[in-house]
Structure 1
Amino acid sequence: MSENKDQGTGGAQRPGEEGGAPGRVVGTPSPAAERRLLPEGDVSAPEGAGEELDEQSAKRAERVVAAFFLLAFAASVAFIAYYIGWSGRDGGMHGIDRARESNLWLGGTMTLAFLAMAIGVTIWVRRLMTSKPLVQERHELRADDATREAFTKTFLDGAKESGITKRPLLRRTLLLAAAPLGLAPLVLLRDLGPLPEKRLRHTYWGEAVRRAKAEGKKGVRLVVDGTNKPLKASDFATPGGMITVVPEGIEEHAEHPLNEVAKAVTILINIPPDQLKPVKGRENWHVNGIVAYSKICTHVGCPAALYEQTTHHILCPCHQSTFDATDGAKVVFGPAARPLPQLPLAKDEEGYLVATGDFPEPIGPSFWERG
């Protein structure tokens, strides 16, 4: 038995046995042969360190670096000019139609600015800076007068070796290139949103109703979103149904159709008339139990697109805000603070559902452009 045991271990002594090596915990690194990261004695400088630069080559490199800094300056100025100037035409960069163009030019000019700056600094470091070994001794964490003087001397020597004091062309072009980039964050504050205006006090429903009444009509017809088909009350006579509608002609007459559709999108719900509890002053805003509410949740603007037929509750899937469709879309659950705005409805002479006015209050969250 003893002979087999020795063969299984290869004849090696186990840790902890007499004459055996001390054991090592699994997962820890093996003991290093040397306890020092650097050898004792003087540390030689890397090859080429401390050598004087060839002034003719240095001048050429200086001009190259300056050219890249000037390119960075031009690109950053182009970024600011495009953001302030060209992006403000035809709806501006905040319009959906021009988002791709804005991203291309703004991203391209900013990338060029940072890339040119990085290339210039890289060439400066590799071609114009001399190097010499620096030895930092470890002492107690205190700053006496001698340490401060040594730091000042080292800093000034570093500035001298970098060439920033010796080569004013590089210093000036670097500052010139960095100045517009320092102003860029101030310009980008515009992306926090436009100044408060009265844009969302009204939707395209109001404009469409005014145009229809000017033509002698009772109101603007409701068309199904996606098909643009006008909707009759008889087409939507089954209680419990829900459909999304927009104003008729919005794609032809609106200046920015996608933006206007996003604000004017409305849900149409058919509720048994005996279950309706109309808000005071809105008793005639429905057609045989058909009511219309803004589809934009008043919490953070998600689409309130779910409807529970048995309870007549409208649900926003983002944060579970719940609105009672029978009671003026009043909030019954969730973080929303206001009911969904209601759209006044009627029938025209041909039986089509029409809106007779705009939403009586701003749509969407309370922190939007309420004005």
Structure 2
Amino acid sequence: MATVEHVGPIADPGLPHEGPRYTDVNTSAGNRAYVQVLGMLALVPLLAIAFVVCYFAVPKDRVFDYGPLHSNALHLSLGLTGGLAVLLIGLACIHWAKQIMNDHEMVEMRHPASSPAEDRAAVAQMWDEGAADSGLGRRKLIGGALVGAVGTILLPVVVMFADMGPHPGSGLRAATIEKTLWAEGVKLVNDVTYEPIKASELEIGSLVNAEPENLKDEHGAQFVREKAKSPIVIVRMEPERIKIPDSRKDWHVAGILAYSKICTHVGCPISLWERTTHHLLCPCHQSTFDLGDSGVVVFGPAARSLPQLPIAVDGDGFLVAKSDFTVPVGPSYFERDSRHDYKKGDN
């Protein structure tokens, strides 16, 4: 087997050595560079404060026009102040490295991938030398200015957390995620045709996917939010084969019941109906609810019963809601009140 001869570094690769750096031989130039770095870093806190002021002071609906172009005033001001702050930190660090840190050529030899003790000691020595080369020993204000600049630029980041939305307190939850479009007198309509549903037209064993009639009045993002919370399934069963607690005696119409279509496990839509057992199966994780027994969980990971919508019929025989759901629909969460959830055996 041929042996590979170790070849050391070339003594003179033919590259010319760098000449002395101007800021090293000219004290005035070095001092100017020092002041320039400090100036750039000193502007960063001012820009960070300006960012916060613009965030609260500039109206969100104000627009700047540039001929055929226009831009939101708030977005423009936040981009300019935040962007300049980050840019100045970068420029200051580059200027510091190019004009103030020690300027000398270095050669790094290739070495095995492992890190023996002597290499770790060498790295520690290089760290110490790098710290010395940074010039912080002679120009200490740069370190403080850099820490101050980086620290204050985090302030706009913290302030922008407010754009993630209002704090989800109990009042906000009750008015948003715990409330749907269902209310007294709202008609139940087919989720495809949006036609009202007559009680007399539903056959025993049938299942219909439905929405509130007033969903069509919503638009854009609000439409999507309400559609995600409001879907229901309407089923009709033989009245003598279903268990109805005393507290829900008037929630059905001749064996017609309405339940939320959103699984209480992780919020998947449910419509796999087994008419002989009255079971509704979630296709995501196989949670199974008994719609003939107030929507209780009979199998799977769901932890609470499927919310039931109280319904009645109007003067024309169409199905209408009697109220909104009495408990929040969809997956559970820590803050919600579970005292009113239906449990098997409740009346």
Q: TM-score, normalised by structure 2?
A: 0.66
* Post-superposition CA distance 1:63-110 (Å, at most 9, x none): 665565466546655665677787999xxxxxxxxxx99999988976
Alignment of 1:176-187 (within 5 A): 176-183=148-155, 186-187=158-159
Q: Which residue of 1 aligns with 2:232?
A: 267
- 1:344/1:356 contact within 8 Å kept: yes
Gaps of 5+ in 1: 1-21, 24-30, 90-99, 210-218
Change in Cα spacing, 1:247 to 1:309, as seen in structure 2 (3 Å) is same
- 1:294 deviation in Å? 2.0
Instruction: Indicate the residue corresponding to 1:158 in structure 2.
Output: 133
What does residue 189 of structure 2 align with? 223
* Residue matched to 2:180: 204
Residue type of the alignment partner of 2:170: E
Structure 2 Cα separation of the partners of residues 314 and 357 of structure 1: 23
The 1:226/1:177 distance shift into structure 2, 3 A limit, reads farther
CA contact (8 A) 1:250 1:260 kept: no
Tell whether 2:92 aligns with 1:120: yes
Question: Displacement, 1:359?
Answer: 1.3
Greater Rg, structure 1 or structure 2? Answer: 1
How do residues 7-86 of structure 1 correspond to structure 2 at under 5 angstroms? 22=1, 32-34=4-6, 36=8, 38=9, 47-48=18-19, 52=24, 54=26, 58=30, 65=37, 69=41, 73=45, 76-77=48-49
Counterpart residue number, 1:212 = none
Instruction: Evaluate the alpha carbon distance shift between residue 152 and residue 260 of structure 1 in structure 2; reply closer, same or farther with a 3 A threshold.
Output: closer
1:339 aligns with 2:305: yes
Which residue does 1:277 correspond to in 2? 243
Which whole-Å CA distance do the structure 1 matches of 2:224 and 2:40 have between them? Answer: 42
Identity percentage over the alignment?
33
323-332 or 343-352, larger mean C-alpha shift: 323-332
Secondary structure at the residue paired with 1:287?
coil
Count of residue correspondences: 311
Inter-CA distance 83–279: structure 2 relative to 1 (3 Å threshold): farther
Note if 1:305 corresponds to 2:270.
yes
1:49·1:132 contact (CA, 8 Å) conserved in 2? no
TM-score (norm 1): 0.63
Alignment partner of 2:167 out of 194, 201, 212: 194
- The 3-state SS of whatever aligns with 2:153 is helix
In structure 2, how many angstroms separate the alpha carbons of the residues matched to 1:321 and 1:81? Answer: 50
Contact 2:58–2:73, Cα closer than 8 Å, also in 1:
no
C-alpha deviations, 1:160-192, integer Å up to 9, x for none?
2xx685274x55653443123344665566659
Selected match of 1:286 from 237, 248, 252: 252
Q: CA–CA distance in 2 between the matches of 1:223 and 1:340?
A: 20
Distance 2:321 2:94 in 1: 65
For structure 2, the residue ranges without an aligned partner over 5 or more in a row are: 62-71, 110-115, 338-347
Does 2:309 match 1:357?
no
Pairwise CA RMSD: 4.8
